[in-house]
Amino acid sequence: MATQIKLETGGSMWKMLVRQGDDVTAGQELFIMEVMKMEVPYEAPADGKIVAVHIAEGDVVEEGQLALEID
């Protein structure tokens, strides 16, 4: 079962560091959001492969929105 990465806050998607099909390791930065002029990085909670990407650079996103899925 895929691990879902949901956003903890709203803001804008500043930089995507992975794409679908990439292998990731626990602790690896996945993307960076801009929230109130601050950079907020999101890290992989576990090793796996990015199986779905639901966000893109420049998107305005909301709290609770599904960003990525790792399997």
- CB-count exposure of residue 71 (10 Å: 0-12, 13-18, 19+): exposed
The strand pairing partners of 34, in sequence order, are 12, 39
Asked if residue 48 lies in contact with residue 23, where contact means CB atoms within 8 angstroms, the answer is yes
- Confirm or reject CATH 2.40.30.20 for domain 3-70, answering yes or no: no
Q: Give the separation between CA 45 and CA 55, rounded to whole angstroms.
A: 18
Statement: the pTM of the whole predicted model exceeds 0.85: yes
**For every one of its 71 residues, what pLDDT tens digit does the chain have, with 9 covering 90 and above?**
889 999 999 999 999 999 999 999 999 999 999 999 999 999 999 999 999 999 999 999 999 999 999 99
